[in-house]
Amino acid sequence: MLSPYTSSAWQDPAHASMPAYFRFLTIMAFHVFLQEKVDLAVVEVGIGGAYDCTNIIRAPVVCGISSLGIDHTSILGDTMEKIAWQKGGIFKPGVPAFTVAQPERPLAVLRDRAQELACPLYLCPELDAFEGNHRTLELGLAGAHQRSNAALALQLARTWLQRRGCEGLGELEEVPPVTELAGRPVPLAPAFRPSDAMIQGLRDTEWLGRTQVLPRGPVTWYLDGAHTTSSIQACVRWFRQAALNQDKPHDGSEVRVLLFNATGDRDTAALLKLLVPCHFDYAVFCPNFTEVSVASNVGGSLKTRRGSVSGHD
């Protein structure tokens, strides 16, 4: 499937027959899945949804849309409503879809897209609804924002298990005909009692590089891949809480250093402003080096995605 993204691979005659990098990875992944005859593949879109190269699966078991944010505005649009329209492009006729709590207008766009594509769309209940009998579900991923992701994961897993014939996991109520859905709220999916395997899965989940604390000798690294306004705000909340849980030296020797990198057309100044509450002592900015060429023993040039930086001893 073609998508409206450009790549230097298309512009370079030597690589004219090669697809863009993400398209190549997508094709390769599908090839491996078919060769290995996998039982289940969780496929995440690259950018958006409607025109993403992963959106070639005609009849998935279930679709899910997590919390929306402003990102890739040059491709997806500069409002949450435009981005919601792109995200809703993964909906398929007759295939159940789930989303989490969204702002009213973007949620209305998702509802209308579902109606347009004859897709039964449901809203996930909060994770609290799954925590019956004073039982708190423990999450392996840190951060309050992971609770909505966990609620979405539970609904997607339940739908897959039901397709496999498992029972007793709560039934979805039939969505009214599309002509009756317009203007109505998105129906709430039922909560259910998570199985022991689900509880263990939530507890044991690891995602390296996301809200990860990595102690290495005298240095403790706090790693995250946040790159939008909402995700940076969530990252700040996580970092401040995680840092509070660490024992601090009483001699004032602790130093907080921010290592910052950003790609694409993101407003880095706006993202950095959100990090002010973390009270970093120093900041190190890391450009995106894609090629290193040494011109002589005393100098060289580093080519980046946005240009080149030269230096001499």
Nearest partner of 87 among 233, 79, 159, judged by Cα: 79
Whether 61 has a pLDDT exceeding 90, the answer reads yes
Nearest partner of 110 among 126, 124, 90, judged by Cα: 90
Q: What is the pLDDT of residue 300?
A: 45
Residue type, 225: G
Whether 175 has a pLDDT exceeding 50, the answer reads yes
pLDDT, tens digit, for every residue of 16-28?
A: 678 888 899 999 9
Strand 97-99 versus strand 307-312 pairing type: unpaired
Q: How far is C-alpha 229 from the geometric centre of its chain's CA atoms?
A: 13
pLDDT band of residue 143 (cuts 50, 70, 90) is: confident
Burial class (CB in 10 A: 0-12, 13-18, 19+), 79: middle
Phi and psi at residue 258, to the nearest 5°: -95, 125
Residues of the chain with CATH 3.40.1190.10: 21-204
Residue type, 18: M
- CATH for 21-204 is 3.40.1190.10
pLDDT, tens digit, for every residue of 212-252?
A: 888 888 888 888 888 888 889 989 988 888 887 766 666 66
Strand 212-216 versus strand 219-223 pairing type: antiparallel
Strand 282-285 versus strand 257-260 pairing type: parallel
Whether 166 has a pLDDT exceeding 70, the answer reads yes
Q: Of 180-194, 243-257, 258-272, give the lowest mean pLDDT range.
A: 243-257
189/159 Cα distance (integer angstroms): 11
261/104 Cα distance (integer angstroms): 32
Whether the Cβ atoms of residue 282 and residue 260 lie closer than 8 Å to each other? no
pLDDT band of residue 44 (cuts 50, 70, 90) is: very high
Percent residues over pLDDT 70 in the chain:
78
Per-residue pLDDT, averaged over 99-106, amounts to 95
Residue type, 271: L
